[in-house]
Amino acid sequence: MNNKKTSKTKSTRIQEQNRQRILEASLTVFSRYGFRGTRIDQIAEVSGMSRSNLLYYFKRKEDIYRAVLNEILAEWLEPLRAISADGDPRIEIGAYIRAKCKMASSAPEASRLFANEILQGAPMINDILTGPLKTLVDEKAKVLQNWMDKGQIRRMSPHHLIFAIWATTQHYSDFDHQIKAILGKSIIDEEFGSEAAQSVEDLLLHGMLPRHPEPNID
């Protein structure tokens, strides 16, 4: 019926394809320079299209930025969502840590984009942090608390435990450049990724398990 201003209703292949190209390029650039530090021309160049054409798809820089953030957000939180209250804590948390490391390895730019956004005070996603994210974290914190109450993991602040997992895993993507400078290896190398994941999982699991584990554990 009215197809004049409802736009994006029937986005063509080429439309969707170009939007995707832009979003990918944007992720790369924004994750490095932040919102303000990024110039539209950079995105245009990386995405291989003219600035004009780019602005045909996204009217303003901020629109691109928000679109990228939103696109990543869901999958970014997925691993945390996947933690099951019914599972074994070592299995569940181990899987979570490995998933986070995997993401740090396969999508380091997404991680850095969030890091950047939060460093700047999360001007665009503050409502998400205080809303959905807080809700999710609080919920999983309860799961952890429950495991602690049952003695399956050491008693500690569940929130701080979550922060520790975030910190250690994301460190490999966010500070990749520093690590490269020190070790000469990058998280995007698959091998080094495994090594890091192993290391983090090992350290944290040991840190959170009870001193004298019940003998009947697998």
Partner DNA sequence: CATGAATGAGAATTCATTCAT
Partner DNA sequence: CATGAATGAATTCTCATTCAT
Of DNA, a copy of itself, none, which one sits near residue 51, judging by CB under 5 to 8 A according to partner kind? DNA
Question: Alpha-carbon distance 111 to 100, whole Å?
Answer: 10
Restricting to residues 161-190, name those near a copy of itself by CB under 8 A: 161, 163-164, 166-168, 170-172, 174-175, 177-179, 181-183
Measuring CA to CA, which residue among 8, 112, 134, 141 is closest to residue 63? 8
Task: Work out whether 202 is an interface residue with a copy of itself (CB under 8 A).
Answer: yes
- When binding is defined by CB under 7 A, the residue of 20, 50, 135, 178 that contacts DNA is 50
Task: Work out whether 14 is an interface residue with a copy of itself (CB under 8 A).
Answer: no
Question: Alpha-carbon distance 142 to 139, whole Å?
Answer: 5
* CB nearer DNA, residue 8 or residue 206: 8
Please classify residue 133 by burial: count the beta carbons closer than 10 Å to its beta carbon, then call 0-12 exposed, 13-18 middle and 19+ buried. middle
Report the half-sphere exposure of 59 (CA within 13 A, side-chain side).
1
The neighbour count for residue 209, using CB atoms within 10 Å, is 16
- Per-residue binding string, a copy of itself, 46-85, x by CB under 8 A, is --xxx-----------------------------------
Count H helices and E strands in the chain, helices first: 11, 0
- Residues in contact with a copy of itself by the rule CB under 8 A: 4-5, 31-37, 45, 48-50, 112, 115-116, 118-122, 126, 129-130, 133-134, 137-138, 154, 156-157, 159-161, 163-164, 166-168, 170-172, 174-175, 177-179, 181-183, 195-196, 199-200, 202-208, 211
